Chain A
Amino acid sequence: MVYLNGLLTHFLVWHVEGVMGDYNEESLARMILESMEDGVAVLDRNLKIVRCNRSYLRLTDVASEQVVGEYCYRVSHGTEVPCPESTCPVIQAFRARKPSKVMHTHYDTKGEVHHMDVVAFPIRNKDGTVSQVVEVVRDETELYELNKHLNWVVGFVAHELKGTLGTAVMNISALVDERLSKVIPEDKQGEMLLAALSSLKLMHDMIRNYLVSSKAKAGQLQFNQTTVNIKRDVLEPAMTALQPVLSKRRMNLAIRTSGSSIVFCDKELMKIVFNNLINNGAKYGRERTQIVCCLKGEKESFQFSVLNQGIGIPQDKLEAIFDEFTRCDPLGIGGTGIGLFLVKKIVEMHGGSVTAQSGYLIDGNPVTYASFLANRAKYGIADGEETGLPKFARFTLTIPQMGRRKQRAKREKGEDQDGRERKTDPHS
């Protein structure tokens, strides 16, 4: 309502101030209406369209000769009867003689859904009666989808945090209960306290993940690279935190290292990367299997990979899996869908890259889908038999490393690896 009233006010000011120049009233009004993104139509009391602008034609996806003189419900909805008054702002505007607004769901000729904001303004005659209504239509599909997405995100974040809180509450409430604390063995009580602490730390990590993701998307994530022993200070703590999950699922984690574990990186952000990759390895891996982590430190680059045996990743999802809120989760295992998105963002901030591979484990060796298809005969597996083969998923990140002299020079200049001004660590 505000945007149309503002437009008409502007038109009137022009008229009063004589700024119209070569335009008469009608051509100026038409020019204004034709330049609007919103669809505007004038309807009579029979709900027939008297006139409309180009945007209205575009939004209704109907040719001009099929619109003017036609019933609005036939044009907008393809129906032969008017919409119920409760859902039609035009009928409401005629009845109540005041503006009315409704959100409509329309389907275009391709069957795609559009969420339209429809506002109807009555045009009053001098005697106060309403013989025509102006209908203004705006496609709010993008906003609607954003809102829906936001609601989903909020709901899921709340679920994730509530779940983590549940573990701490269960453990601590059992320990403080007079009856229960007597029946739970003492050695288990120590484990319960540690588990409660661990889940509260996890809650902190999750909150930080969401905050970091939000900052990363806004381009506000700050970056503090230092020399880090990646194996001791990042990988091993991630393994320790994962131990309860690994024991429950009877999985084990093997580390293979070559070269140096000293890496120039942002330690806190790399913790997020490693935690996410290793957690995924456990979550999507089969019980009683091994997760293999490889650390490879060379002069020019550092590489880390996590391989698990489990559900694998469909070939067409190998790139999309890094998109925000995208999950490849055919078994309904669950997760927030931002972990891999964050991993990619952080690795790219380091000037690096991360890739996903998947395929089959043949005699314990990972063979990608593409390689398997190209060399099927070599593996002696008949068509269709591959469905019985165990699958793997492997994530590999590569981060370029500069020489120590360059690192020192950048630190002295107050720059990060890419030459940006380095800011203080904001992770507290």
Chain B
Amino acid sequence: MEERGKLILIVDDDPSFVEATSRVLEGCGYRTTAALSPGECYERLESELPDLIILDVMMARLNSGFDVCRKLKKDVKTKHIPILMLTAIDKTYPFDFGSEAGDEDWLPVDDYVDKPVEAPVLLSHIQRLLGKGPAHPRSKTE
């Protein structure tokens, strides 16, 4: 796989989930690093930029993952990094996945997947993001 050796940052407040996901990804040849909170996430990004970020939507505060992804997409250093969000988002809610929106419905992730997620499903999303760029951007009108 051409993605082997690529670095994935897992941002989730559940250490057990982070460990389980890391184990699966490392078994498939990825390198992983983890952050248990938004604060730790920003610290990790200071030391090495990952090739992809897996981001939990709801950490300590409701929807704190939204704040993280908006911040990362506004920062020139990190805006190019694809973000895969782990979420319980209702797919009928009209979130704006556009890259430049900036309003309160703006959710600038490159893809999202429901939790709990099975390992093969997670891997296929990761491979799609690393191989071909953003998977399924959504617009408000869809």
Q: Enumerate chain A interface residues (CB-CB to B < 8 A).
A: 155, 159, 162-171, 173-174, 177, 179-180, 183-185, 188, 191-192, 195-196, 198-199, 202, 244-245, 248-249, 329, 331-335
**Inter-chain contact B60/A332, CB cutoff 8 Å:** yes
**B59 partner residues in chain A, CB cutoff 8 A:** 332, 334
Query: What is the distance, in angstroms, from B7's C-beta to the closest C-beta of chain A?
Result: 18
Query: What is the distance, in angstroms, from B88's C-beta to the closest C-beta of chain A?
Result: 7
8 Å CB contacts to A: which residues of B1-58?
12-21, 23-24, 27-29, 34, 36-39, 58
With A332-B61, A334-B59 already in contact, the answer to whether A163 and B27 are too (CB < 8 A) is no
Q: Which of B13, B14, B16, B37 has the most chain A CB atoms closer than 10 A to its own CB? A: B16
A-B contact pairs, 20 of them (CB 8 A): A163-B17, A164-B16, A166-B115, A167-B14, A167-B16, A171-B20, A173-B120, A174-B20, A174-B27, A177-B118, A177-B120, A180-B27, A188-B27, A191-B23, A195-B19, A332-B59, A332-B60, A333-B36, A334-B13, A335-B60
**Inter-chain contact B16/A165, CB cutoff 8 Å:** no
**Inter-chain contact A162/B19, CB cutoff 8 Å:** no
A173 to B24, CA, bound (A): 10
**Inter-chain contact B27/A329, CB cutoff 8 Å:** no
With both beta carbons as reference points, the residue of chain B lying nearest to A171 in the complex is identified as B20
Q: Enumerate chain B interface residues (CB-CB to A < 8 A).
A: 12-21, 23-24, 27-29, 34, 36-39, 58-62, 64, 86, 88, 115-123
Can you name 11 extra interface pairs (CB under 8 A) apart from A173-B119, A248-B19? A159-B58, A162-B88, A162-B115, A180-B123, A188-B23, A188-B27, A191-B23, A195-B16, A196-B20, A331-B37, A332-B39
**A249 partner residues in chain B, CB cutoff 8 A:** 15
With A169-B116, A180-B28 already in contact, the answer to whether A333 and B14 are too (CB < 8 A) is no
With both beta carbons as reference points, the residue of chain B lying nearest to A177 in the complex is identified as B120
With A329-B60, A332-B59 already in contact, the answer to whether A170 and B37 are too (CB < 8 A) is no
Q: Which of B38, B117, B119 has the most chain A CB atoms closer than 10 A to its own CB? A: B119
A195 to B20, CA, bound (A): 8
**Inter-chain contact B14/A164, CB cutoff 8 Å:** yes
**Inter-chain contact B17/A333, CB cutoff 8 Å:** no
**Inter-chain contact A184/B23, CB cutoff 8 Å:** yes
**B58 partner residues in chain A, CB cutoff 8 A:** 159
Query: What is the distance, in angstroms, from A291's C-beta to the closest C-beta of chain B?
Result: 15
With A244-B15, A332-B39, A332-B60 already in contact, the answer to whether A166 and B116 are too (CB < 8 A) is yes
With A198-B16, A202-B16, A248-B15 already in contact, the answer to whether A170 and B60 are too (CB < 8 A) is no
**Inter-chain contact B119/A170, CB cutoff 8 Å:** yes
**B39 partner residues in chain A, CB cutoff 8 A:** 331-332
A415 to B75, CA, bound (A): 65
A192 to B25, CA, bound (A): 13
A329 to B120, CA, bound (A): 35
With A248-B15, A332-B37, A333-B37 already in contact, the answer to whether A170 and B61 are too (CB < 8 A) is no
With A332-B61, A334-B60 already in contact, the answer to whether A163 and B37 are too (CB < 8 A) is no
A9 to B27, CA, bound (A): 76
**A202 partner residues in chain B, CB cutoff 8 A:** 16
A196 to B86, CA, bound (A): 19
**Inter-chain contact B14/A163, CB cutoff 8 Å:** yes
* Contacting residue for B27 out of A169, A185, A195, A244, CB 8 A: A185
A202 to B24, CA, bound (A): 21
* Contacting residue for A180 out of B36, B60, B119, CB 8 A: B119
Query: What is the distance, in angstroms, from A280's C-beta to the closest C-beta of chain B?
Result: 13
Q: Which of A170, A174, A184, A199 has the most chain B CB atoms closer than 10 A to its own CB? A: A170
**A199 partner residues in chain B, CB cutoff 8 A:** 16, 20
**B20 partner residues in chain A, CB cutoff 8 A:** 167, 170-171, 174, 192, 195-196, 199
With both beta carbons as reference points, the residue of chain A lying nearest to B57 in the complex is identified as A159
**Inter-chain contact B28/A173, CB cutoff 8 Å:** no
**B86 partner residues in chain A, CB cutoff 8 A:** 166
* Contacting residue for B119 out of A155, A162, A163, A174, CB 8 A: A174
A191 to B116, CA, bound (A): 19
**A248 partner residues in chain B, CB cutoff 8 A:** 15, 18-19, 34
Query: What is the distance, in angstroms, from B57's C-beta to the closest C-beta of chain A?
Result: 10
With both beta carbons as reference points, the residue of chain A lying nearest to B119 in the complex is identified as A174
A355 to B12, CA, bound (A): 31
